[in-house]
Amino acid sequence: MTGGLTFRPHHFLCALGYRGKGYSDAFTANMTQIVTNGLFANGGDHTLIRVRASADSLCAPCPKRRGEGCTNQAEIDALDGRHAAALNLKHGDVLTWGQAKMRIREKVRPDDLDSLCKGCKWLELGLCKSALSDLHRGA
């Protein structure tokens, strides 16, 4: 797989929970294009995603991005470590969005996000838990 979509481990759950909010207008536009118009569009389940241990497709326009890293790198590394372990992901893995959703459904319950996503400012909005509950219900 050359080019294409790349995700840090924690971005699989971020994509699932995305509901039009972001860090900046450019970040939100990028997320909407990738997630809403891509992964959740017809045929999106077949989209290939390569796991990456640094800045990825979602990070591209983030105002917190610094090269391949982030202004909050320690927190991002901790999030990625917890998500990689929970979802059995490692740098370089390639899976489809459909396979990713199946893995999330099998390995993560909504209340798991309290520890998996500890420190994430988006957790308190409840969007990710709601999206994960919908996934478990088959919605």
Cβ within 8 Å of residue 116, ≥6 positions away: 13, 79, 82, 83, 86, 108
Q: Give residue 4's pLDDT.
A: 81
Name the percent of the chain lying above pLDDT 70. 97
Please identify which residue in the block is written with the tokens 């290939």. Answer: 48
User: Can you give the pTM of this predicted structure?
Assistant: 0.93
Give the tens place of pLDDT for each residue, 120-137. Answer: 888 999 999 999 999 999
How much is the average pLDDT of 28-39? Answer: 94
Give the tens place of pLDDT for each residue, 49-61. Answer: 999 999 999 998 9
Q: How confident is the model at residue 23 (pLDDT cuts 50, 70, 90)?
A: confident
